[in-house]
Amino acid sequence: MERENWTSRLGFILAASGSAIGLGNIWRFPFVTGTNGGAIFILIYLASILFIGYPILVSEMSFGRFTSKNPIGAFKKIAPKTAWPWVGALGVLSGFTILSYYSVVAGWGMAYIVKSINFTAESNFPAIFSTHISSLAEPILWHGIFMFLTIAVIGAGVVNGIQRLVKVLMPILFVIMFLLIIRSVTLEGAAAGLEFYLKPDFSAITFQTFTDAISQAFFTLSLGMGAIITYGSYLSEKESINESAGYVLIFDTAVALLAGFAIFPAVFAFGLDPASGPGLTFITLPAVFTQMPFGIFFSVIFFLLLTIAALTSSISMLEVVVSFLIDEYNWQRKKASYLMGFLIFLVGIPPLLGYSSFSNFSFLGMDVLDTYDWFSNYILLPGCGILTSIFVGHIWGIENLTKEANKNSRFKMGSIYALLLKYIVPAVVLFMMIFNIYQTV
Ligand code: PFF
Ligand code: NA
């Protein structure tokens, strides 16, 4: 059967950007930046995106298009009867794990669409957030609705709906972010936040800064779990991978940096703690909205857009799991989507309860959601990333990679990919993984 293709290069870039841009940019990036001292983290993060993120992004796109397969099938095609397809299986496991708690956080965002209506300048946002996440019915309901939406899109087939959604979403998201930034930087006391965000304090560098930057690079670009392999498998031969990957990287980084610009000046203006963790976005941005004309309106729209951005990411995760079952086990798309989606919903319940019934849970000092996040972003994604770069660098071969990635490209890359993928990426990421495990355990 002929494999469906994205209808244009823009279609692919939009879909891949849709996968990349999501909670990772607006929720995770700001709080990780906040706990790592601000500007200095951004510098190391940008280096990670460029020297680790970009070559892996190009590898996954090329590998996917070359094989036209889901991640496991892709490894099987090039290295049959070896253990390599297990790397693809690891990706399917990551998709499963990440989506389960991603949907919980997306559910918080959905709840805030409704909650926004009652926000005032007097609201106690830290209390609203902690009350919400430690309650039961509402978070479960929204987690369920979010998973249902994800399932509905994937059950109906991936290619068509996504492009249209992202095309409309992105410009509106950018406009609201700009309005937020204008309000945030003009608040009294915003200057301290700008300094935190822009002026690197080199004395604050630790190994943790590097491990957090590298794992954020994987998460934000949807790398190390086959989502980009899967999307690449639908990419037409006419399009340049070097360039498409460049666009995705630029869009994703832009949204993350803008989110930080909206958040940090306000954090300092309102006397909040930049290192407060996963609540940062949910506590800070509503407070900024209450200081804006038509604040409620913008807040509703913003959390709606955040939900859609999360949805275009979540569908790419579920698609990995579903396309694997379709290609390898001949499952029907609908059955695979609903069954796996429901299982993922269930796996998401423990992290959700981590703020209420399971609040006594602690794994190496982390709550359930942080544990899922740690396991995914410090073990699964980088582990898969190392193996993928070794595979591309040494088994599939840099020559095959560059042939695929340079096709129809205005700029050609070669030796730099070889250097990064064969040696630097595996070595650096492996070091970061081992160091992080050593430090955490
Ligand atoms: N890149 C997404 C984000 O930044 O929100 C998260 C994500 C999507 C991670 C898809 C992994 C993935 F396969
Ligand atoms: Na992202």
pLDDT tens figures, 91-105: 999 999 999 999 999
- For the Cβ of 94 lying below 6 angstroms from any atom of ligand 1, the answer is no
Domain tally for the chain?
Answer: 1
Is the whole model's pTM more than 0.90, yes or no?
A: yes
Confidence of residue 374 (pLDDT cuts 50, 70, 90): very high
Give the Å distance between the CA of 305 and the centre of ligand 2. Answer: 14
- Mean pLDDT of all residues in the chain? 94
The predicted-structure confidence for 31-85, as pLDDT tens digits, reads as follows 999 999 999 999 999 999 999 999 999 999 999 999 998 899 999 999 999 999 9
- pLDDT at position 156: 87
**Closest ligand to Cα 319:** 1
In a domain, 388, yes or no: yes
Residue nearest to ligand 1 atom 3, measured at CA = 24
Q: Is residue 2 part of a domain?
A: no
For ligand 1, whether the C-beta of 20 sits within 6 Å is yes
The answer to whether position 4 is within a domain reads no
* Residue 183 in this model has a pLDDT that exceeds 70: yes
Q: Is residue 117 part of a domain?
A: yes
User: What does the pLDDT read at residue 7?
Assistant: 65
Residue with tokens 């990064």: 420
Residue 56 domain flag: yes
Q: Which residue is listed with tokens 């989506």? A: 99
Residue 252 is part of a domain; what is its CATH number?
1.20.1740
| CA separation for the pair 139, 141 (Å, rounded) | 5
Residue 36 per-residue DSSP state: T
pLDDT tier, 327 (very low <50, low <70, confident <90, very high otherwise): confident
Q: Is the CB of 84 under 6 A from ligand 1?
A: no
Please identify, by atom number, the ligand 1 atom nearest to the C-alpha of residue 381.
Answer: 11
The pLDDT value given to residue 50: 97
The pLDDT of 388-412, averaged and rounded, is 95
Question: Would residue 109 count as lying in a domain?
Answer: yes
Q: Is residue 3 one of the residues assigned to a domain? A: no
Ligand 1 pocket member 17 (CB < 6 A): no
Q: Does the pLDDT of residue 2 top 60, yes or no?
A: no
Mean pLDDT over 197-210 rounds to: 95
Domain range holding 409? 9-440
Measured distance CA(305)–CA(172) in Å, rounded: 8
Whether residue 1 is predicted with pLDDT greater than 50 in this model: the reply is no
Return the closest-CA partner of residue 262 out of 153, 204, 201, 183.
183
The 10 Å Cβ neighbour count of residue 441 is 6
Model pLDDT, residue 378: 96
In testing the pocket of ligand 1, which one of 219, 373, 378 has its CB within 8 Å of the most ligand atoms? Answer: 219
How confident is the model over 269-295, as pLDDT tens digits? 999 999 999 999 999 999 999 999 999
Residue 342, pLDDT above cutoff 90: yes
Query: Which residue type is seen at 58?
Result: V
User: 81 CA distance to ligand 1 centroid (A)?
Assistant: 30
Report whether residue 280 contacts ligand 1, using a CB cutoff of 6 Å.
no
Q: Is residue 308 a part of any domain in this protein?
A: yes
CA dist 279 and 408 (Å) reads: 44
